[in-house]
Amino acid sequence: MPRKRKREEHENLERWLVSYADFITLLFAFFVVMYSISSVNEGKYRIVSDTVASAFNKDRALDMESVDGVPADGDPVILSTDVAGGDSITDMPFQQRVDKLAKEQIDDMADKVEESMRDLILGDNVNVSRSGDWINVQIKSEMLFVSGSAELNDEAYPVLEELADILRDHTNPMQVEGFTDNVPISNYIYPSNWELSAARAASVVHLFEQEGINPARMAAIGYSQYRPIASNDSPDGRRKNRRIELLILADKSQAEKMLNEEGGGRLEPDSMPPRSLRQEER
């Protein structure tokens, strides 16, 4: 009896349609989700739009019924971009008001110092320089001290007392700085120029304290021979290097206090400007 021949099964060539249908379904779902995310909520959009428009328009001085900048009565509106006068401190942000007031105070003090020291400035014994943050009063040591000593001479008292009269009623921090030339000194009182420069600065501070200036405002600093302003190779250069400098710093904390008392708001006091900033400008 002959065997039955096993029927061959043909390969199904359309199986890919199942995977393709799944892919199309997922792709359709993806685009539906993306469309739903990107659609604009008109109600929310209108609320945001109206809020932004209100914020930008509330301070305008234009008539909202006008068109293209021309009011209903036909007269054109002229908008000025200039700040009126530019001098009104109340129109500035609080920080700028503090800076402006502190600068005005330091400039006023510098004017008084220059006026009182006019003859000495003309005689090249005193030099006054300034910026918005400090005043630097430079006095040659020969006007203030006995040679090789930190003892004030008779000529020093009227000069320093006149400065004290200007500075006494202010609160500005001050640094009194002593400088020497490079000629060595060595004795039992001043073993080196370090001691001499520091002692000379301290002598000026002591006199200012006796004249009623708050000692908490002051610092005495000695720089020895290491901050020359001229060459030490000539007598004239060494004479320039032997000096006392009075650095008066702007008091922004006092300016802030004054503005706060006038109802100008609250701001944390600024820190005292570093000396290095002034030295770069010297």
Domain segments of the chain: what residues?
A: 93-281
The pLDDT assigned to 35 comes to: 72
Q: With b meaning 16 or more CB within 10 Å and e meaning fewer, what string describes 132-161? A: ebbbbbbbbbebbbeeebbebeeebeebbe
Task: Identify the residue whose tokens are 């203030």.
Answer: 144
3-state secondary structure of 98: helix
* pLDDT for res 132: 78
The tokens for 147 are 């040679």
Give me the long-range contacts of 142-146 (CB less than 8 A, separation at least 24). Answer: 142/239, 142/242, 144/200, 144/204, 144/244, 145/200, 145/203
CATH number given to 93-281? 3.30.1330.60
- The enclosing H or E element of 135 equals strand 134-140
**Residue 3: how many CB atoms within 10 A of its CB?**
5
Task: Give the residues across from 178 on adjacent strands.
Answer: 222, 244
Single-letter amino acid code for the residue at 232 = N
Q: 18: buried, middle or exposed (CB in 10 Å: 19+, 13-18, 0-12)?
A: exposed
Statement: the pTM of the whole predicted model exceeds 0.75: no
Please state, in angstroms and rounded to a whole number, the distance separating the CA atoms of residues 194 and 226.
Answer: 9
* Tens digit of each residue's pLDDT (9 = 90 or more) over 112-144: 999 999 999 999 999 999 987 899 999 999 999
With beta carbons less than 8 A apart as the criterion, state whether 234 and 182 touch.
no
pLDDT at residue 58, as a whole number: 46
Q: What pLDDT sits at residue 33?
A: 73
pLDDT under 70 in the chain at which residues? 1-14, 36-91, 94, 253-256, 259, 261-282
Q: Do 275 and 245 contact (CB within 8 A), yes or no?
A: no
Of 143, 120, 139, 137, nearest to 172 (Cα)? 137
The 10 Å Cβ neighbour count of residue 206 is: 15
